[in-house]
């Protein structure tokens, strides 16, 4: 039997096969006292040792400077999961150009035990099972244990997690409801963009419902629409690309034609992850979490004399 298969069978469901493969690559797994490859064979009588990941590996204060761990709004937390309301402008995890001030920094500062969730190769993404774009606000779930990380990752892969987004887009969307089924992949020329005209697209489906249409502020504009989007898939920039592909990009999204500034209200794409529905990894209970509207949404809708209280948010979520 392959070493990675053997170890992942013994460690499941706490660790996935891909995580085990990284552990092997990092030298944390030995066979008969010697390092081995994931593809190495193991036989009856072999001794396989798995070294523990140091519990404090990521809690070293040198990883981020004082002041680089921002405050984060926690919607819910228990022994298995943490649900947060990520603000616009916050990157989920460290990346080139964004080494500090990330959601991961905020989580480690508030929940230092997450350090034990370090990837075996030292990647600083403890408990992260899905992402939101830097300038997209809203609800995110984070795994607090290896068991929950594996269980939640499976739910996202099987598409049993239900996501509800709100977007404010350019123009008045003509149809009340539409489903956009256009594969999304990396733009063939501009590598920072995604596109429905990619050379290597992956299937992507978004269900759009118009919640309100607003008249233009002056004769030079074409109005705006508030829409709810329920994606079946989770491709990078999917909702932004899909809305732009029908001629209605998010306000404040210059990358996809939404014009910087968003009419003075949005200095980021007007996209908010409103609700997330999932099955609790341990209890099996179906749970739903809602992130309140961010201030730029509130101010825009107030200027349009449009009510967006908690009761209205609930109605938007439950619309069939």
Q: Is 133 a catalytic residue?
A: yes
3-state helix/strand/coil string of 265-299:
CCCCCCEEEEEEEEECCCCCCEEEEECCCCHHHHH
CA distances from 221 to 131, 137, 171, 216 (A): 33, 26, 8, 5
Question: In this structure, are residues 279 and 264 in contact, taking their beta carbons and an 8 Å threshold?
Answer: no
- Tell me which DSSP letter residue 110 carries: H
Strand partners, 167: 227, 271
Q: Which of 4, 105, 133, 135 is catalytic?
A: 133
Task: Report which of 126, 14, 144 is spatially closest to residue 81, judged by C-alpha positions.
Answer: 144
**Closest-CA residue to 135 (of 98, 106, 182):** 98
Cα–Cα distances in angstroms (integers) from residue 127 to residues 3, 82, 95, in the given order: 25, 9, 16
Judge whether 80 and 143 are in contact, CB under 8 Å: yes
Residues 15-45, buried b or exposed e (16+ Cβ, 10 A)? bbeebbbbbbeeebbbbeeeebebebebeee
Which residues have a catalytic role annotated?
A: 133
């Amino acid at each position: 039997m392959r070493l990675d298969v053997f170890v992942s069978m013994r460690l499941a469901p706490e660790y996935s096969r891909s995580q085990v493969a990284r552990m092997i690559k990092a030298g944390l797994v030995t066979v008969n006292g010697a390092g081995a490859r994931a593809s190495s064979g193991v036989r009856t009588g072999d001794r396989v040792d798995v070294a523990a990941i140091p519990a404090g590996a990521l809690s070293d204060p040198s990883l981020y400077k004082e002041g680089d761990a921002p405050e984060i709004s926690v919607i819910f937390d228990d022994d298995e999961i943490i649900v947060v309301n990520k603000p616009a402008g916050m990157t989920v995890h460290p990346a080139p150009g964004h080494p500090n001030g990330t959601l991961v920094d905020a989580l480690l500062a508030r929940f230092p035990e997450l350090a034990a969730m370090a990837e075996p190769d030292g990647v600083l993404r403890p408990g992260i099972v899905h992402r939101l774009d830097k300038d997209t606000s809203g609800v995110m779930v984070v795994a607090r244990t290896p068991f929950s990380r594996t269980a939640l990752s499976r739910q996202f892969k099987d598409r049993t997690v239900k996501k509800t987004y709100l977007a404010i887009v350019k123009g008045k969307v003509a149809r009340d409801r539409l489903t956009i089924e256009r594969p999304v992949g990396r733009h063939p020329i501009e590598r920072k963009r995604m596109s429905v005209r990619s050379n290597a697209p992956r299937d992507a489906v978004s269900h759009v419902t118009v919640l309100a249409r607003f008249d233009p502020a002056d004769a030079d504009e074409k109005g705006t629409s508030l829409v709810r989007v329920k994606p079946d898939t989770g491709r990078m920039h999917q909702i932004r690309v899909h809305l732009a592909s029908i001629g209605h990009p998010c306000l404040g999204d210059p990358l996809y034609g939404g014009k910087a500034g968003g009419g003075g209200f949005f200095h980021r794409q007007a996209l908010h992850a409103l609700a997330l529905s999932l099955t609790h990894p341990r209890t099996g209970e179906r749970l739903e979490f809602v992130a309140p509207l961010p201030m730029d949404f509130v101010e825009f809708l107030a200027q349009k004399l449009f009510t967006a209280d908690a009761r209205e948010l609930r109605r938007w979520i439950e619309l069939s």
